[in-house]
Structure 1
């Protein structure tokens, strides 16, 4: 915990350095929300198909969602979103002739209801 889920357009597979993104997120993001590097878990999913606006088919996208345990200040949550956006912009490059949209949502999970098992 925290969980970072990244969905990205299939066309970006060759221009998105996912390993570097995750490594930098795990190093930089924990300080603002009082979490450890070891606590961060990042996973990636390819978006095979997506639609934007009114038939806009020249857009590739990266959607980042961070789920953190409740109890952080609004300022800390906002700072995490900004950090994730900044790191993503460093590690993904748009495909020539296409537009790139990068979006981040940080949400809280209720601490009282979160459970995990580790071996």
Structure 2
């Protein structure tokens, strides 16, 4: 009997589409500080900070959760949820040349329904750019 092929070998590899790829992520503290001094829009699930850069590069995104969220496990869960919200929504709602920072809120970011978080993101983006 021949050996069974590895399941991944049978399936076509999903390279992803632009709509589902994670946008570039902010890494420098100066970028986070600049976004904190720019536009902001609060939602029940998180706070959105946004600033226009001086270039026409792709939109970038950053995530932050303070210790008010909870222990490391809770903070990581909140950031994972925010990352997914941004991954799904930023390609359609983000604008080139902008930086966005999603700041988690205690309890709400983790406990709020995922669809509610996505609606919060859409509303916040519309108000920031409106």
Q: Higher RCO, 1 or 2 (CA under 8 Å, sep at least 6)? A: 1
Shared fold per TM-score greater than 0.5: no
Using the size of structure 1 for normalisation, the TM-score is 0.34
Structure with the larger strand share:
1
Structure with the larger helix share:
2
Using the size of structure 2 for normalisation, the TM-score is 0.32
User: Which of the pair has more CA radius of gyration?
Assistant: 2
